């Protein structure tokens, strides 16, 4: 009883100052820190105390349904700060008790599509739109972008991430951050770092070499920090070489702050970490979503001397400086009524820019709008706009492909359409019973693929061509299943084979749309399709965006951000990724340990060896297994043809300025991407065959029109990390600069000698 009484007295505390007029402003941050009680400091560092359990802070702020809140301190003028999920748009609740209004948010395309644009200017514009919507809804920080590397195609969260390449990831992320933060809305670059699987993600130990860590898994973060200064960075769940990411002083302070110059707040992933004092001491300033035990553990650590007041105050000061930047602190009046119609157009625009034409035999696409299409596949009638979990958005609608084709003026085979509409109505009832109202569905039950042979054969006689859509739902919390998600199912194969046989017999084309969040097997079936269009999960305007590309209204200009191999088992990480349970049902999820202890019992579950080192994606395939590639990194076809010539390289301050002339040699206006790869000399350090060091997207070029793309390559970017010296090293020798349309192309080459 005495112990409980003592604890209550300590918790009550008393202000360090009696100055009631002291309020937070730009010039008195340190004074505010000194005026705070230790309890207030711990209250600030430990988030809003988890809405689902204790909605203390959440009742006082706008944007219900936001992921987290930093607590307010009214007596010192410290406002609450609202953090919302945001990889594909603002995630808040669309409905509120006692309010007839709706609060839907624009569903943007997923990260993998955004990076497929290779268009930094357009990504920044999309970020501005996303940030403006967050601003109007009272969100202070959007928890985006995610830039973990596409190390393995079965990672369940790849849909939120950008690429297998750190330079593309970093550049796209910097553009997104700059766009969002132009609205005085912060971002949270995540998940820092080497968070490349969802299985047992809370305690999985990523065992990765220092060189691979620096060159692959940290490089994208470094680029984004230096080019955009995100307001926050989110530390990841996993361990790295035995040390928890959110408790690593080396990762969060020595590298992030001391080397890269990060100035903002480090926030934990939601529920990450097992030692609050160690997290704060390491430089993890904010613990989210915040639980009572986090608060008490932190307070006890300070009072016992386990955590110094200096470390505590350092994090408090960073959080206060974050609060000063917010629209909330500046008194902005939220309209709660963003221009959703205009924002939907922005979503559609970037979706169209990122759609990739993988295959187009005998100019199967585009399809003239006076042609009749037989539209197959359950996903054509139930398009997937985005992923599930924190990457989801409560969007007002989703345009499916049937609606998009109707709006574009196409005539659809009526018998096929009527069959699917009736079938989908029945399937919807079945799926709704299974899914219920779970807003965090990892694997939503979806309609089972169906094949009606007689209907298909009849349609092959009356329609001009066939379009089939295959879809996949993705979500955080589990990795993908090789049999049920990566490969086509037996039902899907049956549909494709039946349609292909019937339509090809009549001399008609078969076009496949991939409405997916991550890569799937393509090589085993691509010969049955004349054209393959990868539209990813393209947001709420997806059906309209795909219809624009199918019709030729938009000439596709997306390029792959990751390599598509011929066979999953050719992937460099195939043997070091958790597919032990590939025979389990699709709804299977796995967490082995939740007690925070590092385990080394089960490979790929307790620990994962990054044995491939720096040889991730095209770095591996280009160097060792070119013949194992189905579609190379950077691949993307167009309805026109482009040529590169007149490549020039001149020395500039800190590096080289490269110029390449791009000419539209075809008959249709369009855009292309100049990808600049560098082949380094192999002397003291082993090197990949080539690495992406820069890129530029052209504007729309009319037939016959040329454009000179300019790309700057810094000397710093050509350095490799020397583990023995624990430093970056630029080796002397002859470097080959390669201007290309994909990672295997050799359109233009120039040699550069470095002494």
Parallel, antiparallel or unpaired: strands 265-268 and 239-240: unpaired
- Dist. CA 489–CA 495, nearest whole Å: 10
**CB distance 217 to 193 below 8 Å:** yes
Alpha-carbon radius of gyration of the chain: 26
What is the CA angle 5-6-8, rounded to 5? 65
| Element (DSSP H or E) covering residue 297 | helix 292-304
The three-point CA angle 157-717-214 to 5° equals: 50
> How do 531-534 and 356-360 pair as beta strands?
antiparallel
> Burial, 13: exposed, middle or buried (Cβ in 10 Å; 0-12, 13-18, 19+)?
middle
Pairwise CA distance, residues 473 & 392, whole Å: 11
Tokens of 577: 């990724």
Q: Is 382 in the active site? A: no
Q: How far apart are CA 395 and CA 41, in angstroms?
A: 37
Please give the distance of CA 256 from its chain centroid, rounded to a whole number.
21
Spatial neighbors of 465 by CB under 8 A, at least 6 apart, are: 364, 367, 371, 373, 374, 503, 508, 509, 510, 511
Tell me which DSSP letter residue 111 carries: H
CA distance linking residue 593 with residue 241, whole number of Å: 17
Distance between CA atoms of residues 454 and 108, nearest Å: 38
* Burial class of residue 272 (count of CB atoms within 10 Å of its CB; 0-12, 13-18, 19+): buried
State the Cα–Cα distance between residues 562 and 174, nearest whole angstrom: 19
Q: How far apart are alpha carbons 81 and 265 in whole angstroms?
A: 13
CA distance 118 to 162: 10
What distance in Å separates the CA atoms of residue 28 and residue 42, rounded to the nearest whole number?
Answer: 20
| Main-chain dihedrals φ then ψ at residue 277, nearest 5 degrees | -65, -40
Distance CA 485, CA 714 (A): 40
691 in Cβ contact with 737 (< 8 Å): no
* Distance in angstroms (rounded) separating the CA atoms of residues 369 and 372: 8
DSSP 718: G
Q: How does DSSP assign 575-615, residue by residue?
A: GGS--TTTTS-TT-------S-----SSBTTTEEE-TTTT-
Q: Which of 165, 269, 413, 443 is catalytic?
A: 269
Of 127, 57, 51, the closest CA to residue 86 belongs to 127
Q: Is 223 exposed, middle or buried (0-12, 13-18, 19+ CB in 10 A)?
A: buried
Q: Catalytic residue numbers?
A: 269
């Amino acid at each position: 009883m005495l112990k409980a009484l003592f604890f209550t007295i300590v918790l009550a505390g008393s202000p360090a100052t009696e100055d009631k007029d002291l309020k937070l402003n730009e010039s008195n941050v340190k004074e505010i820190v000194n005026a705070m009680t230790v309890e207030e400091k711990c209250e600030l560092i430990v988030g809003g105390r988890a809405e689902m359990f204790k909605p203390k802070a959440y009742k006082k702020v706008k944007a219900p349904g936001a992921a987290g809140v930093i607590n307010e301190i009214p007596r010192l003028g410290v406002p609450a700060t609202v953090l919302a999920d945001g990889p594909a748009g603002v995630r808040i609740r669309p409905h509120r008790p006692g309010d007839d209004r709706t609060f839907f948010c624009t569903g943007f395309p997923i990260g993998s599509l955004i990076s497929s644009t290779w268009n930094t200017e357009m990504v920044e514009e999309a970020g501005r739109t996303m940030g403006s919507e967050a601003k109007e809804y009272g969100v202070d920080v959007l928890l985006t972008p995610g830039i973990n590397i596409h190390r393995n195609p079965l990672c369940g969260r790849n849909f939120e991430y950008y690429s297998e390449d750190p330079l593309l990831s970093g550049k796209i992320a910097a553009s997104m951050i700059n766009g969002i933060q132009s609205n005085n809305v912060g971002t949270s670059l995540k998940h820092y770092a080497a968070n490349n699987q969802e299985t047992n993600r809370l305690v999985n130990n990523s065992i990765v070499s220092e060189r691979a860590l620096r060159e692959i898994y940290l490089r994208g973060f470094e680029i984004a920090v230096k080019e955009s200064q995100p307001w926050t960075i989110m530390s990841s769940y996993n361990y790295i070489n035995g040390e928890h990411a959110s408790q690593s002083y080396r990762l969060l302070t020595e590298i992030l702050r001391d080397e890269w110059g990060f100035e903002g707040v480090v926030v934990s992933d939601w529920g990450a970490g097992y030692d609050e004092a160690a997290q704060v001491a390491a430089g993890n300033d904010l613990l989210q979503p915040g639980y009572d035990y986090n608060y008490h553990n932190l307070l006890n650590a300070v009072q016992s001397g386990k955590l110094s007041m200096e470390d505590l105050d350092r994090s408090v000061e960073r959080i206060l400086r974050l609060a000063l930047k917010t629209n909330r602190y500046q008194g902005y009046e939220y309209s709660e009524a963003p221009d959703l119609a205009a924002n939907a157009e922005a979503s559609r625009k970037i979706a169209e820019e990122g759609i990739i034409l993988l295959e187009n035999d005998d100019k199967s696409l585009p399809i003239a709008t006076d042609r009749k299409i037989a539209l197959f596949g359950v996903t054509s009638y139930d398009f997937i706009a985005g992923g599930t979990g924190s990457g989801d958005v409560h969007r007002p609608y989703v345009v499916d492909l049937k609606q998009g084709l109707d709006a574009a003026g196409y005539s659809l085979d009526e018998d096929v359409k009527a069959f699917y509409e009736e079938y989908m109505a029945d399937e919807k009832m079945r799926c709704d019973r299974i899914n219920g109202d779970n807003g965090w569905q990892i694997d939503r039950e979806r309609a089972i693929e169906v094949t009606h042979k007689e209907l298909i054969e009849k349609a092959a006689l009356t329609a001009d061509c066939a379009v089939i859509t295959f879809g996949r739902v993705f979500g955080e919390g589990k990795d993908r299943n090789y049999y049920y998600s990566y490969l086509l199912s037996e039902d899907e194969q049956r549909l494709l084979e039946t349609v292909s046989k019937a339509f090809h017999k009549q001399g008609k084309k078969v076009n496949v749309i991939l409405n997916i969040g991550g890569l799937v097997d393509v090589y085993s079936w691509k010969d049955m399709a004349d054209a393959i269009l990868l539209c990813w999960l393209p947001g709420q305007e997806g059906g309209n965006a795909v219809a624009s590309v199918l019709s030729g209204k938009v000439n596709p200009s997306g390029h792959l951000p990751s390599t598509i191999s011929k066979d999953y088992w050719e992937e460099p990480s195939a043997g070091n990724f958790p597919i032990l349970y590939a025979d389990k049902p699709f709804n299977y999820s796995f967490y082995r340990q939740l007690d925070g202890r590092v385990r080394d019992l089960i490979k790929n579950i307790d620990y994962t060896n990054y044995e491939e080192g720096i040889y991730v994606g095209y770095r591996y395939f280009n160097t060792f297994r070119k013949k194992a590639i189905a579609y190379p990194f950077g691949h993307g076809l167009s309805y026109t043809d482009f040529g590169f010539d007149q490549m020039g390289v001149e020395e500039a301050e800190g590096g080289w300025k490269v110029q390449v002339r791009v000419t539209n040699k075809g008959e249709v206006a369009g855009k292309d991407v100049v990808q600049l790869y560098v082949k380094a000399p192999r002397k003291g350090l082993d090197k990949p065959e080539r690495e992406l060091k820069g890129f530029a997207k052209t504007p729309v070029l009319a037939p016959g029109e040329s454009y000179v793309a300019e790309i700057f390559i810094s000397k710093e970017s050509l350095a490799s990390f020397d583990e023995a010296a624990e430093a970056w090293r630029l080796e002397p020798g002859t470097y080959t600069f390669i201007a290309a349309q994909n990672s295997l192309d050799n359109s233009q080459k120039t040699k550069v000698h470095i002494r």
